[in-house]
Amino acid sequence: MRDKPYCKAPWIGLAYEGTTGCKPCCEFQGADSKTLSRAEQLDPSNERHTMPWGFQGTHTEYVKSDYLKDFKKMMYEDEMNEGCRQCIDHEMVNARGWGKSRRQKFAKYKINEHGDNKIVRFDYRAGNKCNLSCRMCHPESSSMREEEEIKLGNITAIYRVLPNTNDVYDIDLSGCETLSILGGEPSIDLGVRKWIDHIQDLDVIARITTNATNTSKKWFDTLRKLKKLEILLSIDGTGAAQDFQRKGSVWADVKPNILKYKDEFEDVTIQITASAINFTIIDTWWEEMMELDVPVFCSAVTFPLAYNLSAIPDEIKATQVTWLKKWIDEKSTVTELREINEEIEWMTNKINRQVVEAKEAISILENYPYNPENNKKFKEVTKIMDGCRNENISQLHQRFKEIMND
């Protein structure tokens, strides 16, 4: 056992979700997620569902729960829990050098391991209302995926919504530095607008994650209420790659919306979810993404394993690495790149920034070695989803025809 916890999230972090309750951080994927079947992971009535997705109760109940007590004990184990895979993987990839995992960012704070602490980071999801049905998403985060999983027979009832989350307005945020608002899709959730009205006077960094399908004046005016605003646009490619992975989006509409966000707000970043779909064909959309001239951050799918990059044969990923390296070489002839240690160094130069972004994509591709079991899961899940959506991934690109017929 450790003398000190390997992560301080249970003491100073909080993720509160209207569909699943509370857990120490948004990144935690569940202590036994790898041992659960897909149906078990999706079924909110399953007793084993509690640990993967959090304490299914209010924040008032959570702070007094055995769940939180057990979570704190877990932080003293010699090995990091598998549920912390997102931080484990991020620290493994870490192409930028300065880009720390959530666990590493929490390390700088002092905590009272046996007493009171204030929340430093708060992730809030009012509910799962969403207008997209992204392939790698889950019912607790998308009402559209929820409806789809009901249709597929994986869950038999509307996803559990906590009966009363009004105590979110009573949480002490006096020590909070970063407050993230996610969904669902925040721009179409009235609960989010009510929450923004509540926090608009707080001196915190408010980070909003949106899929860029809504650029209405009312939504933009709501965002402007926040003192320190950061916007993360969930965009997973361009053209057909984006529309296939994030079903319901239309690139012809999303692209001008990205530019509207860029023009209207100072701090805008594109958040790319690197999956077995979009990163398998990164050479078809990367250049157009870079032409937008918006900072890009990539994070790999951890769960479900069917969409983890380990599901894709190494030789196919290698073709994308080769393409990206060639792209970097072409960019590198424009300017001499220096060692990058601080965020400001790559952010102040477009070419530097984009080369670093490409290196990050390469690192992700190279750090998920092929796993035949995950490849099997990818084929199974893809065939089911294709059938449900009347789509065919093989028509997206020839590479998928090779993968599906392998």
- 86: alpha, beta or left, given left = phi > 0 and alpha = psi -120 to 50? alpha
Residue 208: predicted pLDDT: 98
Local confidence band at 36 (pLDDT 50, 70, 90 cut-offs): very low
pLDDT, average across residues 139-149: 89
What average pLDDT does the structure give for the chain? Answer: 87
pLDDT, average across residues 352-364: 91
Local confidence band at 94 (pLDDT 50, 70, 90 cut-offs): low
Q: Over pLDDT 90: what percentage of the chain? A: 68
Higher pLDDT, 332 or 87: 87
Local confidence band at 85 (pLDDT 50, 70, 90 cut-offs): confident
Q: What angle do CA 6, 9, 15 make, to 5 degrees?
A: 150
Higher pLDDT, 349 or 76: 76
Q: Over pLDDT 70: what percentage of the chain? A: 86
Residue 302: predicted pLDDT: 85
Residue 320: predicted pLDDT: 98
Higher pLDDT, 96 or 5: 5
pLDDT, average across residues 306-320: 97
Residue 51: predicted pLDDT: 40
Q: What angle do CA 152, 153, 156 make, to 5 degrees?
A: 130
Q: Which residues contact 139 (CB under 8 A, 6 or more apart)?
A: 19, 42, 128, 145, 146, 149, 155, 159
Higher pLDDT, 89 or 311: 311
Largest CA distance in the chain: 58
Residue 54: predicted pLDDT: 79
* Rounded-to-10 torsion of CA 311, 316, 322, 323: -100
pLDDT, average across residues 100-128: 92
CB count in 10 Å sphere of residue 363: 17
Q: Say if residue 394's pLDDT is above 80.
A: yes
Local confidence band at 333 (pLDDT 50, 70, 90 cut-offs): low
Higher pLDDT, 34 or 303: 303
Higher pLDDT, 81 or 99: 81
Local confidence band at 141 (pLDDT 50, 70, 90 cut-offs): confident
SS3 97: coil
Local confidence band at 281 (pLDDT 50, 70, 90 cut-offs): very high
Local confidence band at 389 (pLDDT 50, 70, 90 cut-offs): very high
CB count in 10 Å sphere of residue 176: 20
Residue 170's alpha-carbon distances to 64, 124, 173, 224, 280, in angstroms, are: 15, 13, 9, 24, 45
Residue 383: predicted pLDDT: 95
Residue 88: predicted pLDDT: 85
pLDDT per residue as tens digits for the range 147-187: 888 888 887 666 555 567 889 999 999 999 999 999 899 99
Residue 46: predicted pLDDT: 43
Q: Say if residue 37's pLDDT is above 70.
A: no
Peptide bond into 99 cis (omega under 30): no
pLDDT, average across residues 136-140: 88
pTM, rounded to two decimals: 0.88
